[in-house]
Structure 1
Amino acid sequence: MAAGFLTFVALNFACLCVSGNLASGKRSFSIDYKNNCFLKDDQPFQYISGSIHYSRIPQYYWKDRLLKMYMTGLNAVQVYVPWNFHEGAQGVYNFTGDRDLEHFLNLANQTGLLVILRPGPYICAEWEMGGLPAWLLQKPNIILRSADTDYLQAVSNWFAVLLPKIKPWLYINGGNIISVQVENEYGSYYACDYNYMRHLQTLFRFFLGEDTVLFTTDGNTDKEMTCGTLEGLYATVDFGTDTNISEAFKRQRRFEPRGPLVNSEFYTGWLDHWGDQHARVTTEKVSKVLGEMLTMGANVNMYMFEGGTNFGYWNGADHDRRFRSVVTSYDYDAPLSEAGDPTEKLLAIRDVIKQFRDIPAGPMPPATPKFAYGFVTLKKVGSVSALLSTLSPMGPVQSHYPLTFEEMKQYYGYMLYRTTLPRDLSEPTPLISPLNGVHDRAYVSVNGVYQGLLQRDTALVMNVTGHQGDTVDILVENMGRVNFGSKINDYKGLLSNLILGKDVLTDWKIYSLDIDGAITGGWPHSARKQSNPPMKKELSFGPNLYMGTFPPNGLSWDTFLKLNEWTKGQVWINGMNLGRYWPARGPQQTLYVPGPLLSSNQPNNITVLELEGAPAHLRVLFMDRPQLNATTDKS
């Protein structure tokens, strides 16, 4: 061991050896600056925690995952609260079903797990817009994560709803929340607005009281720690397996000379973008670094312990050199798999924890059962353009120039822009997005014939042909808003004009598509007559909807859906949006299907929106294992 590492062990191990005051009978959780540790009920306390996102796991499985974490030897879990998951429309709140935060806290409490809560308002988390609701963007000049008046008012209104729900769950009030994070990795944001952080601190203190341990988390650089920390908020750091531990904690010590060492995000894996190789962090690295940190007396939260799934449209995106969308799976190479199965990494982590604290007796709960339901053949329902009366029952909004998703007050999914060709185009003519205004992918058809796509940052020109007056349909897909960095003001749709040759396209009919609403209502399976248009070859390309069923077999077990030779799109099963598929881009090849979603005694309905081109066989396959690491195309 390096001399620096041994010095840190000596300086911080004292906390584990100091006996606290006699318990007064009153529950307490605080920071002991003298002995460099946390105190729980006046006794020295070290937490070994794991991150779990209730928003990425069906409620039915919350207890199963929490129990597995407890049996690994964790004494705490770390939890994000995604604002947009609970306030999808301004002033309309949802804390029911899979959004029942208090039920999740109660299950953790019953399991014996403390909670480190991260309520934002911004959370990053590779989640859509970092957890911020897209309706904030209706204010076109809003400066997110700053002391901007409109933003602060929205945050204050949200916290006035959320934080009173949290207060009874604080450990000092008889619950299990031991500490609460203020904002999230704020030092990585360009604004560096201390007035904003002071405003948040005031809100947290007002609603949660003066005795609550509030903390910040920032990356392991001086700049991030400088802009992300604030007096009165305990400064913690995050880092992974390739970081020099003693150097990272020295940096925390520069901002917090006394108190416990804390790694709030120790990375057990990493995220995937479409086109990446599937990320891996070796079990050996995780075990080694975890053991070293625990030896130092540090408090560690493993991010992630189970990642779960970006169901629906909840995946985020990054934008460094270009826009890159996060895949549907949030497996994260975590100790518990996307489906909540114990892995070799989990068992190795348990062996490390055994060296530092007693772990619960008894076996690790097993993996949930899986079943390969086999092939299901789908049939075509129709093209999106032909189904607008069902998918957009309110009809179009007419506008001379394109409107964004935010202006239309449709924040997620898909929107269709329709106009006509201004003149004959006998030769291929360029359709151009001159200001890179397609956010994020636009699927272009003329008179129902698919002609190609425009894509943000990478495909700003395509050619079209046709005759004057032909209908031009442009289906625009929101691939998830940027969740990190300076570009989180991520508007969607057609943000600027499209130019066809020398003509600016105008006079648009814009259709908000409520595909989810139609499918949740039972369509297309409940429709008396299915639309079966003549099957010309070209109609297999472009945005089309497909449907199928598979019969019950007495089981409702987890399974994995593979869309071999399908191109890109979205899948719903029994009304639930499983998320995006894109096997041609990879690395993810299968979608996780939670067993409780399936019926054991009724037909199960599948609906697929294929955006580019379906295979001739129209088959999908239900497998008993995932495939997350087969990148086939990086274009």
Structure 2
Amino acid sequence: MAAVKWKWIFLTVYFLYILYISQLTQAQNKTFEIDYLGNTFVKDGKRFRYVSGSIHYMRVPKEYWRDRLEKMYAAGLDTIQFYIPWNYHEPEKGQYDFEGQRDFVQFIKLAQEVGLLVLIRAGPYICGEWDFGGFPAWLLKENPKMVLRTMDPTYIKYVDIWMDKLLPMLTPLLYENGGPVLMVQIENEYGSYFACDHQYMAHLRDKARAHLGPRAVLYTTDGGADGFLKCGAVEGAYATVDFGTTVNPQKSFQPQRDYEPFGPLVNSEFYPGWLDHWGYPHSTLNLDVFSRALDKLLDYGANVNMYMFEGGTNFGFWNGANYKPFQAVPTSYDYDAPMSESGDITDKYLAIRQVISKYKQLPDMAIPPNTTKTAYGKVDLSFMATIQDALTTLCPNGPIKSEYPLSMEAISQYQGFVLYRHTLLGDTPSEPKTLDLSGVRDRAYLMINQVPQGVFDRNGQMTMNLTLKVNETIDILVENMGHIGFGSEINNNTKGLIKNVTFGGSMLTGWQIYPLTVENFKPTSLSGIYRDKPFTNGNLTTPSFYVGKLHVPTTPTDTYLDMSNWGKGQHLIMSSSMNNVGRYWPYVGPQVRLFVPKPFLSPSPVINYVILFELERAPCESPDKCTVEFVDKPLINATPHKPNFQRETRTFSRTRISV
């Protein structure tokens, strides 16, 4: 009996050993490389051309990762491409987060399970229509004068620390090691940046090579013009380009051929549409024009990654393309993209699938269905508290006292809001004097004794004539609309009040500075006495919180919150957890309704608290008669009012070649 037992143990161990050796051999036989003479990629010894789409794990609720990936696979894509934002994983210096929604390793493994290969844009700069282009804002606290994306000693010190953390996580996921990762990108569109520091690009290449090994395929991406590749290409990383619709692929790829005479043709960002900006109509790109261009590229033998395939929303203060303040994407590229922010397939998705089917066999599977959307109807809201009422809740540690205003980054407040408070001293002015807030970044609300006086923004009004009295309290609530994420201005990116405030030419000193966390506002745990209604000057109301209750009788579904009649602010939902849904600004547009994914909601008896932090004007008949409505359809393309700031200059033609 004992002999039989040991025999089975031996056979089990032997079987596991053989299985291990088989898997090891299989992994060792997996290869991905560039065949320069054949002008192609080679995977496992065979010619290979990828058809890819971009998806951003940080913009898609984790519960929907598989849904979005399966829809991409069903479209005929064999590969996905995504960024890894540094600031998403190291929000504070030395404090890393790779769990839950931030677990990109699980996302990569899930993509492999679905049947997709992976291209990774590892940064450290990603652009990506993401706050600060992926840089953590605490860099500005370490040295506000550092020159980013260069060999600046302070900058490169922290880049090295981050890359030494990130890159080893990618190594076991490389294709040659049994994972799905084909290539890793060095930096991102560096040729569009002013610095042109070749030593910097070589440093990043060497860092990646040291961690990822000699066989890993590295690449760069730049705009489709020789001037971009001049600074963006680096020896040892394969140079690729990005551009939009074209009728002449040969001409569009010529800049790549000027730097890579041989090897596969690659468009790493082929644009099915373009991003939206606050205050301008929803951007669209004709479906037929795009389909014909995609057809030409695939017929030409090119490798293509289609940008804006995200199918996801932005969370909280991460929601925006921040090339210039105020012109942020409200949530996503949405309904001119192959998948909407809610993951719904669009006509463009079906067109892409049809084109791809001409060049490769589509997977034998049905397209996963769109998620259910529910119109939960109107929810009554009540005024709960002004910003001043809630200060102890939003800033439990109390204010920072300073002789002069401090930037947000200087007090470790990297997103959101800060309230600056000053009590006026000295003689009582007999006539109006000018209050100068020319240092506001980005948008500010001035209150005197809690009564709103006006709105200031960095590209609009910066001064106001006022008559103030001694001992009156000046409150300045400043909103960070998102760190600039593209161009040389990323080096001038501090937020809050970045200059001294003057009144009548005299500097105001002696400030209390409150870093605010709006997620701290929990209706179930508030204490203290609140006033009956917010202050008003007849036009503006004091920034205030409004709260209502949404009851979901059964299993929650996706929905949209219609903000048509509200002013500008932040929307949160608290159920089993607090979720920052995002910003709203409907009178500027183009987005009017906010996508609320079902993971943010809970069924009865749990109450879903609908919280609005309204900054400008609430459409209430009385403090207890405000409403919002949950509907089952989006509204991303409302006609916006003309904003009071200049249009951002980076346009669709930034790297596009139309020939």
1:39 to 38, 42, 49: 42
TM-score by length of 2: 0.89
Deviations 1:522-557 (A, max 9, x none): x12333677343566549702111111111211310
Could you say what secondary structure the match of 1:226 adopts? helix
Instruction: Report if aligned partners of 2:442, 2:479 keep a CA contact under 8 Å in 1.
Output: yes
Q: Could you give the per-residue CA deviations for residues 497-520 of structure 1, whole angstroms, max 9, x where no partner exists?
A: 12222322221111111222x14x
State the one-letter code of the partner of 2:634: P
Equivalent in the alignment of 2:447: 445
Counterpart of 2:651 in structure 1 is: none
Aligned to 1:8: none
Amino acid aligned to 1:304: M
Q: Conserved in 1, the CA contact under 8 Å of 2:249 and 2:300?
A: no
Determine helix, strand or coil for the equivalent of 2:218: strand
From 458, 467, 487, the equivalent of 1:485 is 487
Name the residue aligned to 2:252: 248
1:414 maps to what in 2? 417
What is the 5 A alignment of 1:45-444? Answer: 45-138=48-141, 139-241=143-245, 244-319=248-323, 324-331=327-334, 333-422=336-425, 423-424=427-428, 428-433=432-437, 436-444=438-446
Q: Aligned letter for 1:279? A: S
* Residues in 2 aligned to 1:425 and 1:76: alpha-carbon distance in whole angstroms: 67
Is the contact made by 1:137 and 1:491 (CA closer than 8 Å) also made in structure 2? Answer: yes
Partner Cα distance (1:25, 1:393) in 2:
55
CA deviation after TM superposition for structure 1 residue 330, in Å: 3.6
- Counterpart Cα distance in 1 of 2:268 and 2:533: 58
- How far 1:202 moved relative to its partner? 0.9
**Displacement, 1:431?**
1.8
Letter in 1 for 2:603: S
Report the AA paired with residue 531 of structure 1.
Y
Q: Distance in 1 between matches of 2:503 and 2:161?
A: 45
The alignment partner of 2:133 has SS state of: helix
Residue type of the partner of 2:530? Answer: S
SS of 1:130's equivalent in the other structure is helix
Assess, with a 3 A threshold, how the Cα gap between structure 1 residues 142 and 161 changes in structure 2: closer, same or farther: same
User: Partners in 2 of 1:271 and 1:165 — Cα distance?
Assistant: 31
Q: What secondary structure sits across from 2:298 in the alignment? A: helix
1:462 paired with 2:464, answer: yes
Contact 2:73 2:114 in 1 (8 A): yes
1:429 deviates by 3.5
Most deviating of 68-77 and 145-154? 145-154
Offset of residue 462 of structure 1: 2.4
1:475 aligned partner: 477
- Pairwise CA distance, 1:349: 0.6
1:151-177 per-residue CA deviation (whole Å, 9 max, x = no partner) reads 111111111111111111100000000
Aligned to 1:558: 558
Work out the percentage of aligned pairs sharing the same amino acid: 49
C-alpha deviation, 1:284, in angstroms: 0.8
Q: Residue 166 of structure 1 aligns to which amino acid in structure 2?
A: L
Map 1:606-617 onto structure 2 (within 5 A): 606-617=610-621
Q: Supply the distance in 1 between the matched residues of 2:534 and 2:76 (Cα, whole angstroms).
A: 58
Q: Which runs of 5 or more residues in structure 1 are unaligned?
A: 1-22
Tell me which residue corresponds to 2:634: 626
Counterpart amino acid of residue 336 in structure 2: D
Moved more, 196-205 or 457-466: 457-466
Q: Distance in 1 between matches of 2:150 and 2:295?
A: 38
Q: CA deviation at 1:24?
A: 11
- The answer to whether the Cα contact below 8 Å between 1:129 and 1:316 also exists between their aligned partners in 2 is no
Per the alignment, do residues 227 and 383 of structure 1 end up closer, same or farther by CA in structure 2, a change over 3 Å counting?
same
Q: Distance in 2 between matches of 1:530 and 1:447?
A: 17
Change in Cα spacing, 1:332 to 1:461, as seen in structure 2 (3 Å) is farther
Q: What's the CA shift for 1:375?
A: 0.7
**Match of residue 524 from structure 1:** 523
Counterpart Cα distance in 2 of 1:344 and 1:467: 61
**Match status 1:604 vs 2:603:** no
- 1:319 and 1:25, CA in 2 relative to 1: closer, same or farther beyond 3 A? closer
List alignment gaps of at least 5 residues for structure 2: 1-25, 644-659
CA contact (8 A) 2:196 2:232 kept: yes
Give the direction of change, closer, same or farther, for the CA distance of 1:29–1:535 in structure 2 (3 Å limit).
closer
User: How far off its partner does 1:327 sit?
Assistant: 2.3
State the distance in 2 between where 1:332 and 1:402 align. Answer: 42
Alpha-carbon distance in structure 2 between the residues aligned to 1:427 and 1:624: 54
Tell me, yes or no, if the aligned pair for 1:180 and 1:215 is still in contact at 8 Å: yes
241-250 vs 159-168, which deviates more? 241-250
Code of the aligned partner of 2:375 = A
Q: Is the 8 A contact 2:415 2:480 kept in 1?
A: yes
Query: Would the alpha carbon gap of residues 458 and 171 (structure 1) be closer, same or farther in structure 2, given more than 3 Å must change?
Result: same
CA distance in 1, matches of 2:351, 2:569: 38
How far apart are the structure 1 equivalents of 2:50 and 2:217? Answer: 14
CA deviation after TM superposition for structure 1 residue 417, in Å: 0.2
| 1:88-135 deviations in Å (ceiling 9; x for gaps) | 000100011110111100110000000000010000011000000001
* Separation in 2, partners of 1:132, 1:330: 22
Deviation sequence 1:592-628 (CA, Å, 0-9, x none): 1001211122211111111111111421111101101
Q: Residues 590 and 242 of structure 1: is their aligned pair in 2 closer, same or farther, counting only changes over 3 Å? A: farther
Q: Distance between the aligned counterparts of 1:557 and 1:323, measured in 2?
A: 31
**Is the CA contact (8 Å cut-off) linking 2:298 and 2:359 kept in structure 1?**
yes
1:307 Cα shift? 4.8
Q: What is the match of residue 569 of structure 2?
A: 569
CA 1:493–1:505 in structure 2 vs 1: closer, same or farther (change >3 Å)? same
User: How far 1:316 moved relative to its partner?
Assistant: 4.0
Over 3 Å counting, the alpha-carbon distance change for 1:542 and 1:425 in structure 2 is farther
SS in 2 for 1:459: coil
TM-score by length of 1: 0.93
Q: What is the Cα-based RMSD across aligned positions, in Å?
A: 1.8
User: Helix, strand or coil for the counterpart of 2:422?
Assistant: strand
8 Å Cα contact 1:454-1:462 kept in structure 2: no
Q: Quick one: structure 1 residues 311 and 383, their matched pair in 2 at CA, closer, same or farther if it must change by over 3 Å?
A: same
- In 2 relative to 1, CA 552–528 (structure 1 residues): closer, same or farther, beyond 3 Å? farther
